[in-house]
Structure 1
Amino acid sequence: MVSIDDVARHAGVSTATVSRALSGRGHVSDVTRARVESAAKALGYVVSSSASSLASGRTRNIGVLVPYLDRWFFSTVLSGVASALTRRGYDITLYNLTADRDARRSIFETFLRRQRVDGVIAISIELGEQETDRLLELGLPVIAIGGPNARLTTLTVDDLAVARLATEHLLALGHREIAHIGASPEFDIDFHIPTHRRQGFEHALADAGIPDRSALYEPADFTVAGGFRAAKQLLGRPGERPTAIFAASDEMAIGALLAARDLGYRVPEDLSIVGIDGHELGDFFRLTTVDQFPLGQGERAADAILAELEAKDAGSAPVPPGPLPFELIVRGSTARLAS
């Protein structure tokens, strides 16, 4: 069986240097780290998780709280977290935090207290006061993605600004009859992101001198099917018809695209459609969107949690992460209003 001494001899360094290089704890030059990693790979050496934990006091494992496992956005953020942590030699333990109170309580009061993780990342989950208390009592770094929490380090996107950007894009193209597909109340949870996006939409219209458009609002459930049904309602009802639709998610926007085509609308000649997220199928559907880079959000969260661990080791304060970026991506689903 290959030992750490074998790796040290092969790399021409001390066993202490091998330990620092492979654990990520302590300073090692990039050249030396690469030589040690190459030697370990050549010899087939793998750091024992139990031995590493005993030596460092670390599990090299990060707990990740996520509300959904079967939704594209959450799985994409999770993929970013996992990829970034894996590159740094960390594992993840996944906790599916549902609305069930007993299940949530057991995660915070039992599973996380087993001290099997070095830190916690919460993806788009609004934590209650008691849940935040339980996390802080662990004495571990915590990074929250998706909304403000004054007691935790958070990574947030300005949803009002995101919605404004999408709406102002349609306004700049000459559209005034703009409909909005948002969320019904049962889906307006955890930071009330749909509400903020509707407010950003309404503020942009108000600034442009456009009166209330409540008649051109239709709720849905943040799915393709939900967006399809909502767009059918907006486009099929008597009275004023929109020339553009702003959907609060790309999946609902894709559903609206399919509904418009089903009803004989040409997109973008007859109807412009814009969404939010940066969905992986957006390019396929030529969907104009405000990309909030969900994969990058996960990577940023992983980098932030590791930076807090390193700062803790060094006895220094971590640098607070900045706001999450977003960008308007113009494709073929929006066009200037025909005169």
Structure 2
Amino acid sequence: MRTARRATLRGMGHGIEDVARAAGVSTATVSRALRGLPHVTDATRERVRLAALELGYVATPSARSLATGRTRTIGLLLPWVSHWFFANVVEGAERTLREHDHDALLYTFDVFERGPRRRVETHVLRGRVDGILVVGLPLEPEEIVDLDALVRPLVFVGSGPGDRCTIRVDEQEVSRIAVDHLIGLGHRRIGHVTGHPDDVSPWSAGVLRTRAWRDVMGATGLTADALAYGNFDVGGGRAAAHELLTRHPDVTSVFVTSDEMAMGVIAAARDRGLRVPEDLSVIGVDGHELGEVVALTTVAQDVHAQGVLAARLVLAQIAGEEVPQRVTPQVRLVLRGSTAPPRDR
């Protein structure tokens, strides 16, 4: 009898007022109880939950937004979602947001796709999000001003200006670990494959890692002239390695600013009949799961955890809490089979 009554009531499209009437409380209390907010006793919360279950009531996102003035949605801005770093940040952030009853609204801006750099359209977020995560996107100062105009909490991941809440590894340390490893093995002609030549943002990961490569090489008295651009994907890394090795055939090792490009470099070495690591040592950055398959030495970071933390920080800001301006995740050298002392070709 109870089951039949519940099925009948669910078909009637009951609203929050019906739940409030059945539980003997106000609609505001129903909203707070079902959203897990404080200042509702356990007994009242359970009474509301049972009434909502009996009536088949589920609050819609639009109804919650109208009642609270919040969308319970976080915007994610990034250049790509298909690349490993970005996909893992998004996965960590989205799962964490979902655990806290928030949705993720994803926008991609491939700023280096073709022709002149395309401006990021921040107006698409107006009125649609409660906070914003910017993942590895090299914004211009004017674009940051546009984001500020939205008056929403803002967290940067992977790159970002020094005066904002930012989660990123120490790029100088990353490059120093990689280049010092190659120098320690005896390499003196160390090439470098980085992101995109049009990326000139002073706080871009690619720009900072390239600058640090030059600094470490210069401090050791080595020449840093073997540079190519791979656009942070496997195909780009492969093409960049062919270009680099054609121009600088004496290079014995390559420091690559992402594992995906490093896999492309290994493929290019195979194309040219070079053995890795006997003829060419290769080291990447990130900690890609497939790095173990191709025996790639890398400077690893926990990217998924950075997405989790970014979501928590933006939610903390929404709740009015203070958050740190800079979080620097740890990195570690993972030694595999793609690096070895140089041998004469």
TM-score under structure 2 length normalisation: 0.78
Matched, 1:288 2:297: yes
Q: 1:179 aligns with which of 176, 186, 191?
A: 191
Q: Which residue is 2:122 aligned to?
A: 108
Give yes or no for contact 1:182–1:198 (8 Å, CA) kept in 2. Answer: yes
After TM superposition, the structure 1 = structure 2 runs for residues 1-339 of structure 1, keeping only pairs within 5 Å, are: 1=10, 19-20=31-32, 22-26=34-38, 46-99=58-111, 104=119, 107-109=121-123, 111-113=124-126, 115-188=127-200, 191-207=203-219, 209-214=220-225, 216-236=226-246, 241-310=250-319, 312=320, 316-320=321-325, 322-337=327-342
Give yes or no for contact 2:202–2:208 (8 Å, CA) kept in 1. Answer: no
Give yes or no for contact 1:125–1:190 (8 Å, CA) kept in 2. Answer: no
Measure the CA separation in 1 of the matches of 2:61 and 2:186.
60
Three-state SS of the structure 2 residue aligned to 1:289 is: strand
- Deviation, structure 1 residue 89: 1.3
Give yes or no for contact 2:284–2:299 (8 Å, CA) kept in 1. Answer: yes
Letter in 2 for 1:295: H
Cα–Cα, structure 1 residues 127 and 264, in superposed 2: closer, same or farther, change >3 Å? closer
- Deviation, structure 1 residue 287: 0.9
- Deviation, structure 1 residue 168: 1.2
Count the aligned residue pairs: 327
Measure the CA separation in 2 of the matches of 1:236 and 1:319.
46
Three-state SS of the structure 1 residue aligned to 2:74 is: strand
Letter in 2 for 1:211: L
Cα–Cα, structure 1 residues 43 and 323, in superposed 2: closer, same or farther, change >3 Å? farther
Comparing 48-57 and 15-24, the one that deviates more: 15-24
- Structure 2 unaligned runs (5+)? 1-9
- Deviation, structure 1 residue 6: 10
Letter in 1 for 2:146: R
Alpha-carbon deviations, 1:195-242, whole Å to 9, x = none?
Answer: 3212212222233x232231x333333322222223234445576x22
Give yes or no for contact 2:199–2:207 (8 Å, CA) kept in 1. Answer: no
Measure the CA separation in 1 of the matches of 2:230 and 2:109.
23
Three-state SS of the structure 2 residue aligned to 1:62 is: strand
Cα–Cα, structure 1 residues 128 and 267, in superposed 2: closer, same or farther, change >3 Å? closer
Percent identity, aligned pairs only, is 41
**Aligned-pair Cα RMSD in Å:** 3.9
Alpha-carbon deviations, 1:76-97, whole Å to 9, x = none?
Answer: 3222221211121111222233
Cα–Cα, structure 1 residues 27 and 247, in superposed 2: closer, same or farther, change >3 Å? farther
- Structure 1 unaligned runs (5+)? none
Three-state SS of the structure 2 residue aligned to 1:195 is: helix
Letter in 2 for 1:325: Q
- Deviation, structure 1 residue 61: 0.8
Measure the CA separation in 2 of the matches of 1:161 and 1:36.
54
